Amino acid sequence: MKKIHKLVQLEKIANGVRQDIIAMLVEAGSGHSAGPLGMADVFTALYFNVLNHDPKRPGWDGRDRLYLSAGHICPVRYAAMIRAGYGKPAELKTLRKLGTRLQGHPALAHWPAVEASGGPLGQGISVAVGAALAARMDGKKHFVFCVTGDGELDEGQAWEAFMFAGKKRLNNLIAIVDRNNIQIDGHTEDVLPLEPLRDKFEAFNWHVLEVDGNNIEQVIDACEFAKTIYEKPTVILAHTVPGKGVDYMEFDPAWHGKTPEAGEQAREALRQLRSLGGQIEPE
């Protein structure tokens, strides 16, 4: 896919993705708001600048793989993918509808381009680690990306996978942690403290980068730098604002798994996002 390098254009696409997310969730009447809104900049950076992929050939063997371990934030992935050419905008209205491609968690049977089905937290990184190891054994040159939430790092399986990847020095693996500090039960540091998170990853033999996950330029630079690390896997701790762009959602754990109500609540969210610009279509 032709990459977009103009930062202003990428920012407009990201804000368009946020507007798509609100419209999708209101139409569905259920789903997660905070995480998808917070990760719109990361997914815009991935699909419009970082990943080597081709929407016209979603199964192309040379593509970079992107696994979404935090499957509940899939609305942001669906919106970014469709804007990148994987479907028509009208399909966004089918989120969580029976029999459609846009299920409440990624479903490989419905949409092979999502790489793996998602849902059980903590398992996606294991799938990505296996894919990275297989790629290296097969002599493949693509990169494997995995997006995880910080709340799912409460899962022991995630750390088994991180430990294995560090041991195997999987330098073709790049994990991105959505470090928004909330999960369904509250703030991460109240539920089960993760800090010092950087030290934990370094102890597991990962190269660690930290960025403002709502700064597209920082996300792109970190991903490109991660590709140059040859002796170990890399994790990018992307510090994001949950509910980014909608003031009544930002930083509030209550919006982790809640959808804005149709009517004034939804209109206000869209009003705020539209005031920031967006809805630009990629060239």
Query: d(Cα 233, Cα 167) in Å, to the nearest integer?
Result: 10
pLDDT digits 0-9 by tens, 263-272:
999 999 999 9
Q: Which band of pLDDT confidence, cut at 50, 70 and 90, is reported for residue 276?
A: confident
Are residues 145 and 46 in contact, defined by beta-carbon separation less than 8 angstroms?
yes
> What pLDDT sits at residue 110?
82
Query: d(Cα 243, Cα 24) in Å, to the nearest integer?
Result: 15
Give the pLDDT mean for 25-44: 97
pLDDT digits 0-9 by tens, 124-152:
999 999 999 999 999 999 999 999 999 99
Q: Which band of pLDDT confidence, cut at 50, 70 and 90, is reported for residue 80?
A: very high
Assess whether pLDDT exceeds 70 at residue 256. Answer: yes
Q: Which band of pLDDT confidence, cut at 50, 70 and 90, is reported for residue 45?
A: very high
Upstream peptide bond of 196 is cis (omega within 30 degrees of 0): yes
Q: Which band of pLDDT confidence, cut at 50, 70 and 90, is reported for residue 279?
A: low
pLDDT digits 0-9 by tens, 171-218:
999 999 999 999 999 999 999 999 999 999 999 999 999 999 999 999
What does pLDDT average to over the chain? 95
Query: d(Cα 46, Cα 42) in Å, to the nearest integer?
Result: 6
Of 114, 115, 152, nearest to 132 by C-alpha is: 115
Are residues 252 and 272 in contact, defined by beta-carbon separation less than 8 angstroms?
no
Q: Residue 147 is inside which H or E element, if any?
A: strand 144-149
> What pLDDT sits at residue 281?
53
Rounded to whole angstroms, what are the CA distances from 113 to 3, 80, 209, 244? 18, 13, 27, 26
Are residues 76 and 43 in contact, defined by beta-carbon separation less than 8 angstroms?
yes
Work out the burial of residue 228: count CB atoms within 10 Å of its CB; fewer than 13 is exposed, 13-18 middle, 19 or more buried: exposed
* Ramachandran angles phi, psi of 211, nearest 5°: -140, 165
Percent of the chain with pLDDT over 70: 98
Radius of gyration of the chain (CA): 17
Domain 7-274 has CATH 3.40.50.300: no
For the chain, which residues make up each domain, given as ranges?
7-274
Assess whether pLDDT exceeds 60 at residue 164. Answer: yes
Rounded to whole angstroms, what are the CA distances from 40 to 44, 117, 140, 174? 6, 20, 29, 18
